[in-house]
Structure 1
Amino acid sequence: MDRAARLQVTAPAKVNLYLGIHTVKDARGYHRVDTVMTALDLADTLTFTPSGALGVMTVPDAGIPMERHSVYRAALAMGEAFGRAVDFAITVEKNIPLQSGLGGPSGDAAAAIAGICAYWDVERTDPRVVDVARGIGADVPFFLYGPPAYLAGAGDELVEVFEPAGELPVVLVKPRSGGVSTVEAYRTFDATPQQLGDLPRMLDAMRSRDRDAIVAGVFNNLAPAAIEILPVIGEIRSWLRGLPGVRAAEVSGSGATVFAICETREDAERIACQARDRHDWWSCATKMEKSGPKVTVC
């Protein structure tokens, strides 16, 4: 690709259709995790401009020092892996809330990697790229590709990808203030471990693209920890589960967002409005989709 080109890369959010945390840990101290994730059409946008040095700016400002930003760390790791200068100014337009369980920082890191791969004509499947992604965060390898997927290990080993079961409508709801750190959620889980769900049922449902079975298999054994830390998450989940038009509702990741799979797009939009107007919760009507980072020349 033209080294002088200006690029835009989307960084989609995700939800965990299944999340099973095991009590056993690997040599790195990470819990064994089984998860089935799917991307949404809610996304951040990264803009790359060739520059004399690497720089990262977030709009609106997220209050994170640049050196700790997932995009900065991913770009720097790509430079180290390939022995090349990462001389880009990268602007991250944030639409995905932080500490939401929607994978915003991981998706942004994957989009940064995808943009650099496009500039350098490197395949995203290059083992060096995959190693960089895994080194940044457990969810990052998923975001590099896009189709619904089953990941194991620490949630960073891609095991199987699936054909999407269609653009299922989803509403996302979270409290406007407060969040749940992943570290705190796992610490709370360790104090009171939860039983695993029926992973084989969810995998069979994904393979057969059986929407009813996918909805029935939605599960997250980290949800009780998130609710213990921030009880309003439980209020949101209970509220969503009691609404007409909602087929399933569960916490995504470690929270603080609860996602609900809805009967129709209209149901998702109606519920999003109710969440904002009646409860002053952050909300967004969206849908599942299969795409990973989309790279365009601008």
Structure 2
Amino acid sequence: MPAQFILVTAPAKVNLYLGVHPGKGEDGYHRVDTVMSTIDLSDTLAIAPSDELVVRMVPEADFPMEENSAYKAAVAMGEAFDRDPAFTILIDKHIPVRAGLGGPSTDAAATIMGICHYWGIDPTDPRIDAVARSIGADVAFFLYGPPAYLSGRGDVMEELYRPLTGTAVALVKPKTGGVSAADAYRVFDEAPLEPAPLEPMLEAMRDHRETDIFAQVANNLAPAACALSPEISDVLAWIRQQPDVRVAEVAGSGSCVFAVCNTQMAAERIALAALNDHHWWAQAAKMEKSGPFIAVG
């Protein structure tokens, strides 16, 4: 008897390196270099065949279903493979929105992989990569799992690396508000900054030299995020002063800050202090190798 539904985990990410190049190309987008790793904070998607495409979120979203990245991914899969994407998709949200942790992108990737499962499509089919890139810059990354370097708009897979499995991370963000990527790029364009050197990070990732990797963590979009939400600067300054923090930086376009910690206990202590003393949103997590993971219900 076939399964009634499948569950797909959709992990968040942090940018170990984010380099946005000043100026836009002819396509209207910035050139972006980024090195990302997934973490074990994740959304869970329940996907089941249905009479029509329906996407719901828990907690409920404050925007129309048609604007959800998972909905867009399902529609794009239907167009790419000339099939009706008639599924009910329920997203149990744990990754905060407008945080720079890749929530919408990972939900889209999980949707793509779930539909591949139902339709018997090889996820390495080149049409899958095209669908992913049509939804958003980070979606293609989430189809894989290991840390990776991406170029182009941040959507062209260049290199995969050994996972930094088990590396402790504390995530802290202001309790209210968030930063949209569009706003961050708009502010960046008003006073663009050159990206940090990329090659030292790539060399460290290739050789799996953790000390050097964390020494090269950089994000030239961070000042734009802090300008839009000054409390991010407060979080970043606070977390950099905490014991056992190896490095801390803004995640993507914000508003979350991540700190690489010496131990999981340190990450949990920082998260607890952020919650209790400052009433910020906080979570302890670990880096891992994880693309969308499918469990049959």
Once the two structures are TM-superposed, the CA of residue 174 in structure 1 deviates from its matched residue by 0.2
Is the aligned partner of 1:240 residue 2:243?
Answer: no
What aligned pairs does 1:51-200 form with structure 2 within 5 A after superposition? 51-200=50-199
Supply the RMSD in Å over aligned alpha carbons: 1.0
Q: What percent identity do the matched residue pairs reach?
A: 56
Q: What code does the residue aligned with 2:293 have? A: K
- Residue 261 (str. 1) matches residue 265 (str. 2): no
Deviation at 1:4, TM superposition (A): 5.1
Contact kept, 8 Å, 1:3 with 1:50, in 2: the verdict is no
- The 8 Å contact of residues 16 and 253 in structure 1, kept in 2 or not, is answered as yes
Aligned match of 2:269: 270
For the residues of structure 1 that align with 2:296 and 2:3, how far apart are their CA atoms?
10
The answer for the alignment partner of 1:37 in structure 2 is 36
Deviates further, 218-227 or 195-204: 195-204
Query: How far off is 1:129 after superposition?
Result: 0.8
- Tell me the equivalent position of 2:17: 18
Q: Which residue of 2 aligns with 1:28?
A: 27
Q: 1:164 offset after TM fit, Å?
A: 1.2
Which runs of 5 or more structure 1 residues have no equivalent in the other structure? none
Q: Residue 155 of structure 1 aligns to a residue in which SS?
A: coil
Kept in 1: contact 2:29–2:153 (CA 8 A): yes
How far does residue 198 in structure 1 lie from its aligned partner after superposition? 1.9
Map of 1:202-213 to 2, 5 A cutoff?
A: 202-213=201-212
- Structure 1 residue 181, shift from structure 2 partner: 1.0
Q: CA deviation at 1:107?
A: 0.3
Give the alignment's TM-score, normalised by structure 2: 0.98
**Deviation of the 1:5 alpha carbon:** 3.6
The answer to whether the 8 Å contact 2:9/2:292 transfers is yes
Whole-angstrom distance in 2 between the partners of 1:29 and 1:218: 27
C-alpha separation between the residues in 2 aligned to 1:153 and 1:272?
Answer: 34
Residue 45 of structure 2 aligns to a residue in which SS? strand
Instruction: Return the alpha-carbon distance in structure 2 between the equivalents of residues 87 and 216 of structure 1.
Output: 47
Distance 1:217 1:266 in 2: 24
Which one-letter code corresponds to 1:11 in the other structure?
A
Residue 44 of structure 1 contacts residue 94 of structure 1 at CA under 8 Å; is this kept in 2? yes
Is the partner of 2:236 in helix, strand or coil? helix
Secondary structure of 2:153's aligned partner: coil
- Deviation readout 1:97-146 (Å, 9 max, x if unpaired): 00000000000000000000111111222111111100000000000111
Q: Is the 2:164–2:287 contact (alpha carbons within 8 Å) kept by the matching residues of 1?
A: no
Q: Secondary structure at the match of 2:88?
A: strand
The one-letter amino acid paired with 1:236 is V
> How many corresponding residue pairs?
297
In 1: Cα distance, 2:176 partner to 2:207 partner: 39
What residue ranges of structure 2 are gaps of 5+ in the alignment? none
**What is the alpha-carbon distance in structure 2 between the residues aligned to residue 26 and residue 294 of structure 1?**
35
| Helix, strand or coil at the partner of 1:145 | coil
Q: Which position in structure 1 is the counterpart of 2:47?
A: 48
How many Å separate the matches in 2 of 1:118 and 1:39?
A: 22
Query: CA 1:53–1:4 in structure 2 vs 1: closer, same or farther (change >3 Å)?
Result: farther
Give a deviation string over 1:203-261, Cα, whole Å, max 9, x none. Answer: 01111111101110100000000001101001101111111110000001000000000
Q: CA contact under 8 A between 2:164 and 2:288: conserved in structure 1?
A: no
Q: Return the letter of the residue paired with 2:239.
A: L
Whether the 8 Å contact between 1:165 and 1:206 is mirrored in structure 2 is no
Contact 2:22 2:194 in 1 (8 A): no
Q: Give the Cα–Cα distance (whole angstroms) in 2 for the partners of residues 89 and 45 of structure 1.
A: 14
